[in-house]
């Protein structure tokens, strides 16, 4: 936690910590609403609410049904890219797409299929079940943006491959296309035109947003790729949106302008925007840091503790599945216990495993749960996990001892072997009954511990945090880190359920 004297009009970034990239924001009267990407995770596109741009709460998701979002065998960092959230005449619109890669058994990715985007709408953003079925567009591409002009016409902009004759000799050659569309059907009313190609070395223009102010149309694009060269470009035109990084703009009720953008660990940051000679200037041309200044804002100390209390006899908002579950994997047994039903897929498979994941929101954080689990087969296993992807995760679990089926053992598993192979550290559990499991994270490591009937914590090992984010040819970098609970049968049915209670995350 930062300890320093804060003055008035000072705030802390990120305003929404944890894996919350590609923010898009709207204001509706005194209320702000913000959407972010979810990639291969379900439900899709969280919706956050705030009254003051600083204190945000999760109120639901835009994509909660399989007919809205059907993710299966998704490779890491595929799925839902860069949504756009807009509010027009009492209705909210969310536009996005789902990108898919084929992958073989080793996780090697094939050529992605360029997606056909869509939008969903609702007249009641507080009710996540009210979002409509998808309305699909004709134009292919990612990072869909909807722009509603003053004359009632609606334009769709997307990022897609540029034609051969416009390509440079380097880079990925992805540009911004635009078409006018019929909003009711999503159909294009004219052929798409290219309005931006990137001047950066990697030649990617993505994450477009269009706005209109004082007679100018402004096109914002994220360029330079999603790594150290990520940058935001602004173009403008007076003749229409045709002439014209992941950032979006909003005007508050006092006439001040703000930008939301991704930074650090794929988190949502905020900065003030001023207008000089008809151009937006971000943060007074200064670097955007974890301490920001802006009129009317304040310093909020992030909550340090969260505990699952099962409101409404269900799990809380903020849990995620990897891909869309084909059946319900859990039940709430009482006021403090969730029961996971282990499936045949493991944490290392490309399909939906029986796991519930929750975003890690601080470098210094502890995740813990008490597990009641007495496996009857050596392949039945359950525990807690620090999750980045199917190739990059660390787990602490309980299983049956193969050498003595009357006993259990606790297993720490991580990809720390040669060529990122998963290796195990094992300790035998002598006593029956529930076992408490814990992982303590710091900026540089995760330490795993367990406590059996004597309630004494025993460290089984530590793993460097770099292991999660080590660049691999088959892994992705667009997502973030989760904590979670899981149960699995290792290619077989797991008939013994796993009961988790006392699920907590403590952030420092």
> Which positions are annotated as active-site residues?
22, 206
Does 287 fall in a domain?
no
- Among 214, 237, 254, the domain-final residue is 254
Residue 30 pLDDT exceeds 90? yes
pLDDT of residue 76: 87
Does 245 fall in a domain?
yes
The pLDDT tens digits for 175-196 are 899 999 999 999 999 999 998 8
Does 406 fall in a domain?
yes
HSE-up of 42 (CA within 13 Å, CB side)?
25
User: Per the structure block, which two tokens stand in for 356?
Assistant: 């519930």
Does 275 fall in a domain?
no
Domain hosting 37: range is 22-254
Cα(50)–Cα(15) distance, integer angstroms: 10
Does 413 fall in a domain?
yes
**96 and 239 part of one domain:** yes
pLDDT of residue 261: 92
Cα(450)–Cα(427) distance, integer angstroms: 10
**190 and 332 part of one domain:** no
- How much is the average pLDDT of 422-429? 95
pLDDT of residue 167: 75
Residue 3 pLDDT exceeds 50? no
Cα(434)–Cα(436) distance, integer angstroms: 7
**93 and 181 part of one domain:** yes
**108 and 237 part of one domain:** yes
Cα(145)–Cα(83) distance, integer angstroms: 8
Please report which helix (H) or strand (E) contains residue 355, including its range. Answer: strand 355-359
- Mean pLDDT across the chain: 90
Best CA proximity match to 441, nearest among 465, 417, 460, 420: 465
The values of phi and psi at residue 182, to 5°, are -85, 115
| 51 CB burial (10 A radius; 0-12, 13-18, 19+) | exposed
Q: Residue 118 maps to which CATH number?
A: 2.115.10.20
128 contacts: CB under 8 Å, gap ≥ 6 = 43, 47, 59, 60, 61, 62, 64
Q: Check the CA dihedral 331-58-212-208 and report its sign.
A: negative
**356 and 241 part of one domain:** no
Q: Residue 452 maps to which CATH number?
A: 2.60.120.200
The whole model's pTM is what?
A: 0.93
- Among 254, 273, 290, the domain-final residue is 254
pLDDT of residue 2: 43
- How much is the average pLDDT of 431-445? 95
**203 and 132 part of one domain:** yes
Residue 394 pLDDT exceeds 60? yes
**144 and 222 part of one domain:** yes
Query: Domain count of the chain?
Result: 2
- Among 254, 286, 314, the domain-final residue is 254
**231 and 310 part of one domain:** no
Percent of the chain with pLDDT over 70: 92
**224 and 324 part of one domain:** no
**328 and 398 part of one domain:** yes
Does 239 fall in a domain?
yes
**233 and 345 part of one domain:** no
pLDDT of residue 105: 54
Does 470 fall in a domain?
yes
Does 168 fall in a domain?
yes
Q: What residue has token string 């470009």?
A: 233
**110 and 184 part of one domain:** yes
User: Per the structure block, which two tokens stand in for 126?
Assistant: 């507080």
Cα(478)–Cα(466) distance, integer angstroms: 16
């Amino acid at each position: 936690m930062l300890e320093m004297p804060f003055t008035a009009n000072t705030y802390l970034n990120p305003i929404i910590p944890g894996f919350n990239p590609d923010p898009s924001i709207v204001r509706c009267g005194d209320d702000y609403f913000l959407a972010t990407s979810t990639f291969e995770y379900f439900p899709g596109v969280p919706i956050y609410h705030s009254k003051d741009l600083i204190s945000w709460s999760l109120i639901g998701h835009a994509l909660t049904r399989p007919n809205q979002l059907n993710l299966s065998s998704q490779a890491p960092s595929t799925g839902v890219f860069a949504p756009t959230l807009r509010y027009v005449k009492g209705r909210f619109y969310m536009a996005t797409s789902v990108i898919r890669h084929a992958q073989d058994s080793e996780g090697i990715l094939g050529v992605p299929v360029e997606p056909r985007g869509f939008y969903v709408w609702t007249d009641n953003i507080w009710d996540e079940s009210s979002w409509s079925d998808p309305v699909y567009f004709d134009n292919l591409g990612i990072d869909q943006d909807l722009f509603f002009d003053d004359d009632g016409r609606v334009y769709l902009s997307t990022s897609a491959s540029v034609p051969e004759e416009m390509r440079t000799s380097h880079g990925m050659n992805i540009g911004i296309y635009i078409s006018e569309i019929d909003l009711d059907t999503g159909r294009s009313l004219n052929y798409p035109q290219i309005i931006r190609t990137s001047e950066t070395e990697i030649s990617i223009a993505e994450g477009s947003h269009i706005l209109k102010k004082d007679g100018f149309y402004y096109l914002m694009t994220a360029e330079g790729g999603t790594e150290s060269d990520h940058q935001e470009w602004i173009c403008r035109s007076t003749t229409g949106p045709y002439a014209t990084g992941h950032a979006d703009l909003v005007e508050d009720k006092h006439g001040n302008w703000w930008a939301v953008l991704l930074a650090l660990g794929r988190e949502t940051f905020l900065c003030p925007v001023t207008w000089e000679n008809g151009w937006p200037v971000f943060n007074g041309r200064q670097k955007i840091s974890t301490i920001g200044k802006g009129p009317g804002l304040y310093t909020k100390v992030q909550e340090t503790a969260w505990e699952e209390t099962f409101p409404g006899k269900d799990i809380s908002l903020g849990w995620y599945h990897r891909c869309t579950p084909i059946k319900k994997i859990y039940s709430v047994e009482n006021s403090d216990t969730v029961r996971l039903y282990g499936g045949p897929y493991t944490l290392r498979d490309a399909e939906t495993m029986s796991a519930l994941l929750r975003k890690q929101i601080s470098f210094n954080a502890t995740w813990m749960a008490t597990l009641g689990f007495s496996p009857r087969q050596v392949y039945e296993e359950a525990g807690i996990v620090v999750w980045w992807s199917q190739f990059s995760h660390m787990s602490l679990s309980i299983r049956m001892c193969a050498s003595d089926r009357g006993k259990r053992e606790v297993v720490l598993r991580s990809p720390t072997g040669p060529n990122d192979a998963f290796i195990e550290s094992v300790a035998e559990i002598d006593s029956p009954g529930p076992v408490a499991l814990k992982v303590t994270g710091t900026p540089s490591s995760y330490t795993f511990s367990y406590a059996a009937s004597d309630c004494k914590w025993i460290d089984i090992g530590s793993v460097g945090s770099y292991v999660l984010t080590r660049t691999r040819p088959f892994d992705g970098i667009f997502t973030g880190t989760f904590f979670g609970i899981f149960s699995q049968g290792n290619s077989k049915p797991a008939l013994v359920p796993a009961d988790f209670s006392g699920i907590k995350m403590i952030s420092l």
